[in-house]
A and B are shown apart, each in its own frame.
Chain A
Amino acid sequence: MDSNAALVDFLLGLGDDRLVLGHRLSEWCGHAPILEEDIALTNIALDLIGQATLFLGLAGDIEGKGRDADALAYFRSDREFRNHPLVELPKGDFAFTIVRQFLFDAFGYHLLQALAESAHEGLSGIAGKSAKETAYHLRHSAEWVVRLGDGTEESHVRAQSALDEAWRWTGALFVPTPAEAVLAESGVAPDLVGLESVWRSSVDEVIRNSTLELPEALPPTGKGYRRGDHTEHLGTLLAEMQSLARAHPGATW
């Protein structure tokens, strides 16, 4: 894989993770447990879609086939999406949404921090801006993980079962794709092994405060899964997201 193709693939992944997770969060809009969370979750969704637009836009520029962020978001099929399976899982209850968000925010934060130092200037610029936003997302989701874990008996049980479910998909975050391997070599992207250990220590700290337990004995779901492998849920998510744009190909909105 040449380094340009690797970069495009990786940028699509960064964009797709955020587009898909932003979609899941936006499903809460108008239905959150309290109005303050309608605002917070919508705000995070908005940041994620904004980041997705920048990453996909850069992917399209480097690809050089005239595809902009919208073309990439709305006119690729599910098999072409490069997101992690973790982000496409249905939103579940508030506990699942929060726990999944926390695990992803911690991953996103450390990845973006590292990418802010990337040898690729366009990428480092977007990553630096996105890392600042993600620091807020992480604070929000970490606070809720602790609140739910150490709240009531019911919230503890719900948060633990959310953690058991989401945890099984986190292994895939750290299995490098061929593109990620190429980019780690050239200093464009960080090495995922090193990233896993910083991610793990920030996760450990919050989980300890939350009184929850990491289900380490559970086998990872989809052994060997990595970025770009999907569940059945992505197809229906994209069917919804892309339906209007695809019904009017070539239209301007």
Chain B
Amino acid sequence: MPQKNTESALSPEDAARLEAFEAHVGKGGYVEPKDWMPERYRKQLIRMMSQHAHSEVVGMLPEGNWITRAPSLRRKMVLLAKVQDEAGHGLYIYCGTETLGVDREELVEALLAGKAKYSSIFNYPTLTWADIGAIGWLVDGAAIVNQTMLAKASYGPYARAMIRICKEENFHKRQGYEIMATLSKGTPAQKAMAQDALDRWWWPSLMMFGPSDTNSPNSAELIKWGVKKKTNDELRQRFVDLTVPQAEAIGLTLPDPDLRYDEETKHWNFGEIDWDEFWTVVKGNGPCNKERLEARRRAHDDGAWVRAAAEAYAAKRNGHNRATAA
């Protein structure tokens, strides 16, 4: 394979390091923050991990939208706990990203400036209570498929974060599926609400795995370096195979007339994803891109005086402690 431009000017020393690095991750070895790593590897991880952290945080918004209207006290508590978990995931992954030599503030600035991405799924609106069920079941479900793979990523801090987070995502998925199951056993209006939510969230969930393999520029490199172990299309197929029987079990219909089980491959074939829609949302023109970013910016701007106060107070206390110690 020809060398990439960015690495063509490697010194013999770095070339040797790169070779050792690739041999190490090729054997399934982990990379830790203090280890040498190619600059490109570091950049790719910062991009992936910060996108992941941003997604956890922005993802609080569509679900948070239903906390005050949750239809029972138990559902309200479960939803509060879930959204709180997502904030915790965001915090944890930001900390993990900081091990690569960036700080959280920089990463957040990039998000607010519209320079960093987050998962496009959160640019869709939550219109009914059933959307909370659909998100837990499908969005957390898709996240689990992706994160189960990332739990074996070559970068140690990322892999460990994924192991811890996946446990909670399983609980999120279960509560979402349980909401959908309850609705589909409920009144005709509740069942219709569940089906409508599934109709709206199914295709965007499939898009969560990213562009198809023929169109995914980063994949080969990430796989070579052990960051990803499977391609987007492989993960998407795994998600479809897991989800089809779950929909059937609760009497809901996936909105895809081309869905068919292939006896030979033992996989569910599915219809073509609307890639125009995918790119429209990725490029910032989905139904809620503007609102989500504005909500994050507003929280950040309105909170500036609070952060300033906390810093000023901490500085005063430190000064005081130094003065009394001296």
Q: Are A34 and B77 in contact (CB under 8 A)?
A: no
Residues of B within 8 A of A248 (CB): 71, 187, 189-190
Q: Are A39 and B91 in contact (CB under 8 A)?
A: yes
Q: Are A31 and B308 in contact (CB under 8 A)?
A: no
Q: Are A35 and B57 in contact (CB under 8 A)?
A: yes
Contact with A along B155-192 (1 / 0, CB 8 A): 00000000000000000000000010011001101100
Q: Is B129 an interface residue when CB atoms closer than 8 A count as contact?
A: yes
Contact with B along A129-151 (1 / 0, CB 8 A): 00000000000000000111011
Residues of B within 8 A of A46 (CB): 77, 80-81, 84
Residues of A within 8 A of B57 (CB): 35
Interface hits, A215-239 → B, CB 8 Å: none
Residues of A within 8 A of B74 (CB): 53, 70
The chain A residue sitting closest to B303, CB to CB, is: A33
Residues of A within 8 A of B94 (CB): 35
Q: Is B249 an interface residue when CB atoms closer than 8 A count as contact?
A: no
Known pairs A31-B299, A148-B309, A248-B189; A38 contacts B60 (CB<8 A): yes
Measured in the bound complex, the distance between the Cα atoms of B80 and A80 in whole Å is: 26
Q: Are A152 and B312 in contact (CB under 8 A)?
A: yes
Residues of B within 8 A of A56 (CB): 73
Known pairs A45-B80, A154-B305; A23 contacts B68 (CB<8 A): yes
Interface hits, A22-53 → B, CB 8 Å: 23, 26-27, 29-39, 42-43, 45-46, 49-50, 52-53
Contact of B308 among A19, A29, A39, A154 (CB under 8 A): A154
Min C-beta distance of B123 to chain A, whole Å: 15
Q: Is B69 an interface residue when CB atoms closer than 8 A count as contact?
A: yes
Measured in the bound complex, the distance between the Cα atoms of B130 and A251 in whole Å is: 14
Count of chain A to chain B residue pairs whose CB atoms are closer than 8 Å in the complex:
138
Known pairs A32-B299, A147-B310, A155-B308; A251 contacts B186 (CB<8 A): yes
Q: Are B72 and A94 in contact (CB under 8 A)?
A: no
Q: Is B87 an interface residue when CB atoms closer than 8 A count as contact?
A: yes
Contact with A along B50-65 (1 / 0, CB 8 A): 0000000100110010
Interface hits, B50-108 → A, CB 8 Å: 57, 60-61, 64, 67-77, 80-81, 83-84, 87-88, 90-91, 94
Residues of A within 8 A of B80 (CB): 26, 29, 42, 45-46, 49
Min C-beta distance of A21 to chain B, whole Å: 13
Residues of B within 8 A of A37 (CB): 306
The chain B residue sitting closest to A46, CB to CB, is: B80
Q: Is A106 an interface residue when CB atoms closer than 8 A count as contact?
A: no
Q: Is A206 an interface residue when CB atoms closer than 8 A count as contact?
A: no
Q: Are A33 and B186 in contact (CB under 8 A)?
A: no
Contact of A27 among B68, B71, B88 (CB under 8 A): B68
Min C-beta distance of B188 to chain A, whole Å: 11
Residues of A within 8 A of B71 (CB): 74, 244-245, 248, 251, 253
Known pairs A32-B303, A36-B91; A253 contacts B75 (CB<8 A): yes
- A selection of 12 A-B contacts at a CB cut-off of 8 Å is A26-B76, A29-B60, A35-B94, A39-B84, A42-B80, A42-B83, A42-B84, A148-B309, A155-B309, A244-B70, A250-B187, A252-B182
**Which of A's residues lie within 8 Å of B, judged by CB?**
19, 23, 26-27, 29-39, 42-43, 45-46, 49-50, 52-53, 56, 69-70, 73-74, 93-94, 146-148, 150-152, 154-155, 158, 240-241, 243-245, 248, 250-253
In order of increasing CB-CB distance, the 7 nearest A-B pairs are: A33-B303, A151-B309, A155-B309, A33-B306, A30-B60, A30-B64, A42-B84
**Which of B's residues lie within 8 Å of A, judged by CB?**
57, 60-61, 64, 67-77, 80-81, 83-84, 87-88, 90-91, 94, 129, 179, 182-183, 186-187, 189-190, 295, 298-299, 302-310, 312-313, 316
